[in-house]
């Protein structure tokens, strides 16, 4: 499978989650998920079992802990972050709510100017990647190669 095909597959998988209600710590398509749960659910659809089970976390975990837990988990499972200029459809983006804050939101790039994410107090949505979102990107990560099961 080419990297372009993989990106398209990831976006199609993520779009299958659109409309899933926002539920803190959940990760079930159509039932509920948060932003981490969305990425976890896509991982399961692509590879089967998740690489690790996240520990329980409060809604304000980043403000209380002071550790870049989300970025470190992304690094462990996706590898080194990529330059924003190399981002492409299907990549995971990790975002900070403001400069200097701990990164605590994630989504899937669906186009050069769009991303899919679990929007708090709403659902999984596809949003424009406007400048306000783009400037919050703390890291871009690529899913590992997916085995082509159609062969």
Q: Residue 100: pLDDT band by 50, 70, 90 thresholds?
A: confident
Asked if residue 61 lies in contact with residue 69, where contact means CB atoms within 8 angstroms, the answer is: yes
Q: Which CATH architecture has domain 3-53+68-141?
A: Alpha-Beta Complex (3.90)
16-54 per-position pLDDT tens digit: 999 999 999 999 999 999 999 999 999 999 999 998 888
Count of C-beta atoms within a 10 Å radius of residue 88? 15
pTM: 0.93
Q: So where are the chain's domains?
A: 3-53+68-141
Q: Provide the 3-class DSSP secondary structure of residue 107.
A: strand
């Amino acid at each position: 499978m080419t990297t372009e095909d993989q990106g398209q597959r990831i976006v199609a998988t993520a779009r299958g989650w659109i409309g899933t209600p926002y539920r803190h710590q959940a990760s079930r398509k159509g039932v509920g998920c948060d932003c981490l749960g969305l990425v976890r659910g896509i991982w399961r659809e692509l590879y089967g079992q998740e690489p690790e089970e996240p520990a329980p976390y409060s809604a304000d975990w980043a403000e209380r802990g002071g550790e870049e837990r989300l970025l470190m988990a992304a690094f462990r499972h996706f590898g080194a972050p990529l330059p924003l200029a190399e981002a492409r459809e299907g990549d995971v983006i990790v975002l900070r709510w403001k400069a200097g804050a701990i990164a605590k939101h994630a989504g899937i790039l669906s186009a050069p100017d769009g991303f899919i994410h679990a929007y708090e107090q709403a659902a999984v949505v596809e949003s424009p990647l406007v400048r306000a979102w783009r400037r919050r990107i703390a890291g871009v990560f690529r899913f590992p190669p997916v085995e082509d099961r159609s062969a």
